[in-house]
Structures are given as C-alpha cells and as structure tokens.
Amino acid sequence: SDAERVFRPQLDYFCRDLPFNVRFNAISTNQNEMIYEDKALKVSTLPLRHRIPTCGFLFEEKEKERHLIRDMIQFYNIPIRELAKIKQGEDFITSEGLIIPNERLSRPADPVSRYAYCSDTIYQEKLIPLIEGVDLLYHEATFAEDNKARAKETFHSTAVQAATLAQKAQVKKLILGHFSARYQDDSIFLQEAQEIFPHTIIAKESMQIRF
C-alpha cells in the first residue's frame, strides 16, 4: 500500500527495537466490508466522501449467548453437554420426549453495542442503512450553518447535517468533533445540533463514554 511504502523505511530506520511488529493492511475506502473479526467483535468500513480517499469504521459486538436459569437447569436435571445449545436458544427434550421451551430455561442475552466513527466527510445519506440504530455515532462537524457553503466546497459537514443524519438513522447518541479553528466557542455546534437531535454531545480530549 502507499502508506507502507512511505512509513516502512522510517520504521525500519528509526524504530528497529520496537517490541511489536507493525503490520499494514490495505482497505477499500469506497465500499462497506468487514476488515476484522474475532469471537466478540467485528469491524467494518464505512465509505465516506472527502477530498482524499477516506473511510469510517463500524464497531459491532457479536450477538451474545442467553443466560441460563440455574434453578430450572437443576430442576430438569439437564446434562452439562446440553447447556451450550440452550445458551444458543434451543429447547430441551427430556428422556421422556417432553419439550421444555428455551424461555423457561434461559433469559435473553445482553444487548450488543454498536459504535460508528465517521471522520472527514461530506453529508451523505447512503450511510443511514449502515449505521442505523447504533448506540453511539461520532460524526465530524467542521462548520456551523454560517459556513454551510464552505462545508460543501471542502467536503466537510456542518453540525446540523451531522444531527440530521443521526436523526434519520435513529441512533441513540451523537458526538460531534473535528471543529474548524475559526470558531472560538464550540457551543455553537452543540446548540445547532441539539435543535434537531437533542441527544448530542461535544467531543473533548480524554473523554470517556460508557454505553
């Protein structure tokens, strides 16, 4: 990749003693595709539109297993070998052929969390089906409405546009960032966005958000 051709010689020269290996993985910036997956998480790209090739990322927890109701497991004397199936939603059949519904043996799994990160980009509604219903959406808001035309020229978004996208995608919370240095007070972004999408906050350095 272009990035590796630029940075690999520098890493080899200046960072020879790194205790870890730096790996470059080329990803597409014009399509939605999964780029990482493990037992608990998957990460996909979000194609964005900017003056240079850019993409965002969608982080999604995988569906979790149901919670066993221990008293019911003991009551029906269910073998350990059957517990994994019950956690995955299957019913239990006793040795007499009686079907015990899964709802009697387990409780619903914890809801999964989803976070969408949309960095430099012009407003684009094609993101809506990809980020719909996420718990948290970070979206750039470089300009306020007084520079809406400038935002379009530079392929950036306004706070109102970010809030509009959050509203149409029915996300749970929106966080704004990437503000132009021409604004001395970030509160203008929050004010304009909250008029459309009340569940909006402003990104701050070292901020931690639990969801």
| DSSP-assigned beta bridge partners for residue 200 | 174
Whether the predicted model's global pTM rises above the 0.75 cut = yes
- Please answer whether residues 173 and 210 qualify as being in contact, where contact means their C-beta atoms are separated by less than 8 angstroms: no
Ramachandran angles phi, psi of 3, nearest 5°: -65, -40
pLDDT over 90 (residue 210): no
- For residues 138-154, one letter each, b for 16 or more C-beta atoms within 10 angstroms of the residue's C-beta and e for the rest, the string is bbbbbbbeebeeebeeb
The second-level CATH assignment, the architecture, of 28-63+110-202 is 4-Layer Sandwich (3.60)
pLDDT in tens, 15-55: 988 999 998 888 889 999 999 999 999 999 999 999 999 99
pLDDT confidence of residue 66: 96
pLDDT over 80 (residue 211): no
pLDDT confidence of residue 26: 87
The packing angle between helices 187-194 and 159-169, to 10°, is: 40
Tell me what percent of the residues of the chain surpass a pLDDT of 70.
100
pLDDT in tens, 52-111: 999 999 999 999 999 999 999 999 999 999 999 999 999 999 989 999 999 999 999 999
* Average confidence score pLDDT of the chain: 95
Taking phi over 0 as left and psi of -120 to 50 as alpha, with beta for the rest, 133 belongs to left
Tell me what percent of the residues of the chain surpass a pLDDT of 90.
87
pLDDT confidence of residue 25: 86
pLDDT confidence of residue 149: 97
The residue ranges of every structural domain in the chain are: 28-63+110-202, 67-107
pLDDT in tens, 148-170: 999 999 999 999 999 999 999 99
